């Protein structure tokens, strides 16, 4: 008998018909004698609807109250699935973060997990229940409700897998695994049978929405294999594990990702003095705003610099406000921003040491008339900031060059 954790996304529990299908899938495992914990997201569209509701009521809703509102979506899903399982003749119990003591930090809308008390989960499993747990949410030491941010249900499932030493963690979505590019953008994407934690982390952080980066980080830390599968069929998906397919030292681009969830800010005319960059990014860090790509360029006189950085589009408004404050504090000339950008990334182990491949990436973009605004390179990732209108063309061009032609 194994302990299996399954996570189902919003499309999998979008309505009563889909919830009943999930219940049947869950009971296949239960009937084989396994213990099953199911983590579910809010029904598809519910979280977005609740966010719109909050901003219709206020331009700046309290993050505490926003968390209180958003967690109601998962409550609908867990109760619905528990009812459906019981209707099929098996015991089930729905549990939320408060009942389990799923402890997080107190950063509303962006909380991180501190500890999970697994006692009540183990108790309910020992009584023969399928445990249906609310993803995305947590509770602080002061019993305040928090959320883990977008994609937080993936993180919940993998964290439970680590805390309970689960035999398997399965993440079910509306796609049947990890592809070399978004199937909605390219005609001939290839499904990957396996992928390493490092590669998956880069793909997730660079725009692949099949798995949240924080979930991958936890899986890598605790050595948990994740099986990414479709909730619409029984096909084998993609296994995320310590090492993907071996390719010795030959560089292999395994995926092309993109995201439009980016905004770029430029502080222009910043005095060229030691400690300036530290002031800029420490102030953004205090506001819990992550920067992605950073570029500093000097002026002709070398007395002033321009500092550009990208942030999540969700953080852009606040980051611009902070940048305006920094302009005054630093005596900079101005602040500008652009919300119409995108990031395109080529992912593959060993990219940094294969300069010819990096050059070919830039050549391919140039041949397709795509201008590069900013560049970031690492051992496993080459990312470029481009115009949003060019992103699909860039994905198709790079995928054809590095994956379809190889």
Segments of the chain scoring below 70 in pLDDT: 244-251, 299-301, 352-353
Angle subtended at Cα 279 by Cα 275 and Cα 280, rounded to the nearest 5 degrees: 120
Model pLDDT, residue 361: 93
Buried b (16+ CB within 10 A) or exposed e, 290-323: ebbbebeeeeeeeebbbbbbbbbeebbeebbebb
Q: How far apart are CA 331 and CA 147, in angstroms?
A: 38
Q: What is the pLDDT of residue 300?
A: 63
List, for residues 204-220, the tens digit of each pLDDT value: 888 887 888 899 999 99
What are the structural domain ranges in the chain?
3-174
Q: Which two tokens stand for residue 209?
A: 């929405």
d(CA 77, CA 47): 12
What is the pLDDT, as a whole number, of residue 249? 45
| CB of 378 closer than 8 Å to CB of 201 | no
- Residue owning tokens 């993050």: 63
What pLDDT was estimated at residue 252?
A: 76
Distances (CA, A) of 134 to 8, 328, 400: 11, 45, 40
Spatial neighbors of 404 by CB under 8 A, at least 6 apart, are: 188
* CB atoms near residue 220 (< 10 Å): 19
- Please check whether the domain covering 3-174 is classified as CATH 3.40.50.2300: no
Structure tokens given for 334: 């101005």
The pLDDT of residue 345: 94
Is the model's pTM score more than 0.75? yes
């Amino acid at each position: 008998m194994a302990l299996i954790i399954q996570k189902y996304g919003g499309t999998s529990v979008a309505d009563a018909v889909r919830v009943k299908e999930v219940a049947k899938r869950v009971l296949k495992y239960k009937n084989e004698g396994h213990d099953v914990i199911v983590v579910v997201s809010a029904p598809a569209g519910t979280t977005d609807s609740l966010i719109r509701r909050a901003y219709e009521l206020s331009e700046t809703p309290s993050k505490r109250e926003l968390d209180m509102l958003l967690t109601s979506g998962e409550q609908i899903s867990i109760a619905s699935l528990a009812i459906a399982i019981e209707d099929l003749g098996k015991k089930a119990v729905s549990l939320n973060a408060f009942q389990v003591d799923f402890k997080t930090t107190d950063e509303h809308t962006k909380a991180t997990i501190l500890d999970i008390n697994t006692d009540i989960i183990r108790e309910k499993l020992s009584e023969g229940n399928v445990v249906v747990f609310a993803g995305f949410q947590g509770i602080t030491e002061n019993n305040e409700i928090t959320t883990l941010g977008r994609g937080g249900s993936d993180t919940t499932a993998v964290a439970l897998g680590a805390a309970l030493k689960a035999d398997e963690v399965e993440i079910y979505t509306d796609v049947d695994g990890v592809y070399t590019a978004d199937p909605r953008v390219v005609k001939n994407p290839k499904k990957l049978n396996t992928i390493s934690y490092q590669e998956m982390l880069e793909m997730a952080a660079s725009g692949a929405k099949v798995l949240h980066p924080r979930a991958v980080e936890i899986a890598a830390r605790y050595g948990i294999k994740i099986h990414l599968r479709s909730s619409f069929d029984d096909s084998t998906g993609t296994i995320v594990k310590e090492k993907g397919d071996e390719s010795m030292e030959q560089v292999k681009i395994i995926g092309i990702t993109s995201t439009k969830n980016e905004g770029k800010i430029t502080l222009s005319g910043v005095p060229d003095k030691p400690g300036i960059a530290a002031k800029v990014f420490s102030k953004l860090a205090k506001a819990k705003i992550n920067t992605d790509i950073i570029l500093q360029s000097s002026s002709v006189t070398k007395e002033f610099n321009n500092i550009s950085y990208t942030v999540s589009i969700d953080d852009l408004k606040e980051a611009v406000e902070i940048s305006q404050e920094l302009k005054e504090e630093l005596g900079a000339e101005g602040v500008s921003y652009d919300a119409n950008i995108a990031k395109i990334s080529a992912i593959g182990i060993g990219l940094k040491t294969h300069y010819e491949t990096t050059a070919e990436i830039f050549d391919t973009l140039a041949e397709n008339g795509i201008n590069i605004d900013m560049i970031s390179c690492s051992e496993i990732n080459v990312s470029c900031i481009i115009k949003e209108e060019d992103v699909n063309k860039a994905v198709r061009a790079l995928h054809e060059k590095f994956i379809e032609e190889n």
